[in-house]
Structure 1
Amino acid sequence: MWKGVISAITTPFNADLTIDHGALADHCRWLAEHGVVGIVPVGSLGESSTLSHAEKRQVLETCVGAVGERVPVLPRISALGTPEAIAMAKHARAVGCRGLMVTPPYDHGNDWREIRAHVSAVMGATDLPCMLYNHRPPHRVEFRPEHIAELAAEFPHLEALKEPVIDASRIGAIRDLLGPRLEIVVCVEDTIVEAVRAGASGWIACLVNAFPAESVALYRYAQERRERETSELYSWFAPLLRMDTLPKFVQLIKLTQERVGRGTSRVRPPRLPLEGDELREALATIENALATRPRLAV
């Protein structure tokens, strides 16, 4: 379940900024048809911070209803309070999600005793396979290798670790402690080939929302060490992949979806649509990519 391209998904909105559940279901089906091995709703890309608890529940229900058993729905479980996170984890299981991405509370400091209590409470409330999100550095929370080993020993259904940056020495330290016990999944876009070569087994991707065939192909070429195909596709894809590294990654990825006919660029406040030079530069990048879109090798 943790090997291959897993899509973090955007949340589509109607003109009045309510959730467009029809578009959401269609998008999940489209991604499944193009080879993703999992779907992660209500994450940062899904504008989770602007969704109410009830809306998050509805998103999970729509995603599961759309893809059924075809691919697992693996929601991010994150809340400011532990009880709310536990409630979301239980709801995810009840509606048919097949795994969880467990995240520490974003506004909390890096106190291991408290963070451990939070993620342990969430994982202890479910028997679903879990992936721990080591959400450093932007949120000041880091699971050190010994922390990860401690949690892995207590929770056999902790199956994967999501890393936000490539750090070969860190991956090596985790492997030294745990061997192959956990899958290493990365969420890097513009260094994904390097991450695969460093030992990552999965990729939680974002530009896959607009270019699923290219994302799946790039991951496969890198895994199979097909150097020429990897280099050519990576060179074309890189300007798009770098969008995910920018502060306005949500607006940029939604704009890209809009330009390829797979959604709209609507975002919820406090985010605002791109304008001026930001919009012109983004459109130039997207249109150049579309004009030079490569034919994928088998």
Structure 2
Amino acid sequence: MQVNWTGVFPAVATQMFEDGFIDYDMTATQIEALIDAGVDGLVMLGSVGENTALEMDEKIAVLKLAVDLTKGRIPVLSGVAETTTAAAIKYAQKCEDLGANGLMLLPGMIYTADTRENLEHFRAVAAKTSLPIMIYNNPGAYRVDIKPEEFNQLADVKNLVAIKESSGDPRRITDIYNACGDRFVLFCGMDDLVMETQVLGAVGWISGFTDAFPKESVGLWKLLSEGKYTEALAIYRWFAPVLHMDVHAKLVQYIKLAQAMTGVGKEYVRAPRLTLVGEERETITKIIQKAIDTRPSV
């Protein structure tokens, strides 16, 4: 199926057992809960999906599960986060073979590429697959910042179609548009900037905390897309303390703890990540519990 590049695309967590092995049954349950809530697509194996902590055969198994389970009801994208361009090409081609509908392509991991190297990485991967690709720009996490004018240098690559903008600067939405026109579809990539970036022109949201609060996330986006900003603002203000945790280095632990507390997942992660303990756990639990206790009607 073709990807309709609009709406809420949760960055789906890869569910684990306490020993760090993948819980495929819970991953499937989570996917069904997201579909039931009305999400518009799935992004498997992104940062929240612990892509870089998984072996290649595990990534393939998780992606196959998602493709088989959705049965074309909504599009399934896979994150591509490899350490070399050759490995990224190999995985992208495997995604296409498995029936994925698109890719979310990250810069090469570990090595911090310069602009020329980074743009060539995107070009090289795109040239070896027919799948549509969303470029993921997250300089805070991955140390590579793709500037608006640099995106314009990729405008001739037809299957580079969308941008997940996670620089943390909502002005980038306007700057990308001014540099590239409407060449690329723009997605919000940080949960706590969803309202700001939607107003500025983002037409979709790659969201982490949709995993834990799927109905509220879909409801918020619906209000925003309908221009009902007063109603949306009330939900956004309720949600904001939770959404701020999406930009923390431990976003995976925070999201998974929220999933466990809302009954749509488990908190277990794969080392070197560890589940939360002590004062940090108490602080995060209080924020999540307050959101649960004061959930708005959507």
TM-score range, shorter chain: over 0.9
The alignment partner of 2:201 has SS state of: coil
| Aligned twin of 1:226 | 228
Q: Counterpart of 1:136 in structure 2: which amino acid?
A: P
Structure 2 residue identity aligned to 1:74? L
- Deviation digits for residues 105-141 of structure 1, max 9, x if unmatched? 1322241222222211111111111111122233221
Cα offset for 1:158? 1.4
1:20 to 9, 14, 23: 23
TM-score (normalised: structure 2): 0.94
Corresponding residue number in structure 2 for 1:197: 199
Distance in 1 (CA, whole Å) between partners of 2:76 and 2:247 is 24
Residue number among 71, 84, 93 corresponding to 1:90 in the alignment: 93
Structure 1 residue aligned with 2:63, among 44, 60, 64? Answer: 60
- In the alignment, is the contact (CA less than 8 A) between 2:188 and 2:197 conserved in 1? yes
User: Which deviates the most, 186-195 or 162-171?
Assistant: 162-171
Structure 1 residues 247 and 170: alpha-carbon distance in aligned structure 2, compared to 1, 3 A threshold: closer
For residues 155-166 of structure 1, the aligned pairs below 5 Å read 155-166=157-168
Between 1:255-264 and 1:115-124, the stretch displaced more is 115-124
Secondary structure at 1:161 match in 2: strand
Alignment of structure 1 residues 124-143 onto 2, 5 Å: 124-143=127-146
| Aligned length in residues | 295
Gaps of 5+ in 2: none
2:278 match: 276
Of residues 241, 245, 248 in structure 2, which corresponds to 1:246?
A: 248
1:33 positional shift: 1.7
In structure 2, distance between residues paired with 1:272 and 1:90: 32
Matched, 1:4 2:7: yes
Q: Which 5+ residue runs of structure 1 have no aligned equivalent?
A: none
Secondary structure of 2:58's partner?
helix
Find the aligned partners of 1:29 and 1:232 in 2 and give their Cα distance: 28
Shift of the alpha carbon at 1:178?
2.6
Match of 1:45 in 2: 48
Alpha-carbon distance in structure 1 between the residues aligned to 2:290 and 2:175? 41
Matches within 5 A, 1:101-120: 101-120=104-123
- Which amino acid in 2 is paired with 1:253? I
Alpha-carbon distance between aligned partners in 1 of 2:229 and 2:170, rounded to the nearest angstrom = 20
Give how far 1:80 is off: 0.3
Paired residue type of 2:196: E
Q: 1:276–1:217: structure 2 CA closer, same or farther, 3 Å change rule?
A: same
Q: What are the Cα deviations for residues 179-202 of structure 1, in whole angstroms up to 9, with x where unaligned?
A: 212111111111211111111111
Alignment CA distance shift 1:259-1:137 (3 Å)? closer
Q: Contact between 2:81 and 2:108, CA under 8 Å: does it hold in 1?
A: yes
Structure 2 Cα separation of the partners of residues 266 and 291 of structure 1: 23
Task: Report sequence identity in percent.
Answer: 38
Shift of 1:147: 2.2
Counterpart CA distance in 1 for 2:243 and 2:37 is: 18
The amino acid that maps onto 1:62 is L
Note the aligned Cα RMSD (angstroms): 1.5
Residue 219 of structure 2: SS of its match in structure 1? helix
> Which 4+ residue blocks in structure 1 deviate beyond 4 angstroms?
none
Q: CA separation in 1, counterparts of 2:207 and 2:38?
A: 12
Corresponding position: 1:79 with 2:82: yes
Quick check: 2:187–2:204 contact (8 Å CA) kept in 1? yes
2:106/2:136 contact within 8 Å kept: yes
- Partner-residue secondary structure (3-state), 1:14: coil
TM-score, length basis structure 1? 0.94
- Answer whether contact 2:137 2:167 (CA < 8 A) is retained: no
Helix, strand or coil at the partner of 1:192: helix
